Amino acid sequence: MMTMNASTNRPQRTGDRLPAAIIDPRALSLPALMQRCIVESEHFYRGRTHDTTFAYELFRRALAERDELAWEYVYLHYSALVESWVRRSGAFTGCGESSEFFVSAAFTKFWRAMTPERFATFTTLPALLHYLQLCTSSVVIDSVRAQSWAEMVAEEALPLHQTPCSSPDEEALERVQRSEFWQTIDDLLNDDAERAVVIGSFVLGLKPGEIYQERPDLFGDINEVYNVKRNVLSRLSRNTDLRQTMGYA
């Protein structure tokens, strides 16, 4: 994949090929542009001088010009990188979905968010890839949140008066109670930052540092995660409706 840091060195001459610095990426045909992206990626992996302007031009055609074939090339070239981000996400483990599902979802989210007008504000390849990485992290976390709360929370963590179920009717009732409990929790949360902390802490078992690594788009630093968690727990503990649901009031 392309480097996350734009090169400041001039690409070296290779055989009879002109230096990349004097080749205008916009003058290349789409297949030729894609081939240069592949070559520059190979240079990056081998620790050689490389040029990110070709990959940026590929993104420009796909996103600013809404060229569908260019978008297919972007997907092809970067899908392995996006999949590696998915697999490194703490939320991915045990979520029940394939990595391919999240790769497709991440690119879809990125495409919809990156309008031609918005693309103009991203002037470098590293900025584009960073935003794509944020989209990847977001779709994994959002998928976990969208799943049934009852399926995600361990039995011993449920604050309900439960007894072993002996019939399908009782099991169905239990699932409804769990869903209602967690819906109450969700309704009391103010924003995505609070939801990320609650899901990360009590559903996924993540530490504050891990939550920050998963959602750097929501938190400025790890201290913000601690502050959000402390404030949420304090507010929820004082909520009368929630205490009655839990059987504490």
pLDDT, tens digit (0-9, with 9 covering 90-100), for 84-123: 999 888 777 766 778 898 999 999 999 999 999 999 999 9
CA atoms of 38 and 41, how far apart (whole Å): 5
Distance of alpha carbon 249 from alpha carbon 245, whole angstroms: 8
Number of domains in the chain: 2
Range(s) of the domain holding residue 53? 20-146
84 and 31 housed in the same domain? yes
Please tell me the distance from the alpha carbon of residue 182 to that of residue 219, in angstroms, as a whole number. 24
Q: What tokens does 219 get?
A: 């938190």
Distance, CA of 242 to CA of 153 (rounded, Å): 17
| CA 116 to chain centroid | 21
Q: How many beta carbons lie within 10 A of that of residue 24, not counting itself?
A: 8
Give the per-residue pLDDT at 184: 72
Of the three residues 146, 181, 202, the one that is the final residue of a domain is 146
CB 128 within 8 A of CB 122: yes
pTM: predicted TM-score of the whole model, two decimal places: 0.55
Q: What is the reported pLDDT for 88?
A: 86
What per-residue confidence (pLDDT) applies to 4? Answer: 39
**Alpha-carbon gap, residue 86 to 98, rounded angstroms:** 10
Of 97, 124, 146, at which residue does a domain stop? Answer: 146
Which tokens sit at 142? Answer: 């959002």
- Looking at residue 234, its pLDDT comes to 78
**36 shares its domain with 82:** yes
Specify whether the CB–CB gap between 34 and 73 falls below 8 A.
Answer: yes
CB 77 within 8 A of CB 38: yes
User: Do the beta carbons of residue 111 and residue 63 sit within 8 Å?
Assistant: yes
Q: Which residues of the chain have pLDDT under 50?
A: 1-21, 148-173, 175-176, 248-249
> 135 and 160 share a domain?
no
Same domain, 162 and 59: no
Three-class DSSP category at 159 = coil
86 in any annotated domain: yes
Distance between CA atoms of residues 73 and 54, nearest Å: 12
Measured from the Cβ of residue 86, the count of other Cβ atoms closer than 10 Å reads 24
pLDDT in tens, 168-201: 444 444 544 555 666 677 778 888 888 888 887 7
The single residue listed with the structure tokens 């009590």 is: 202
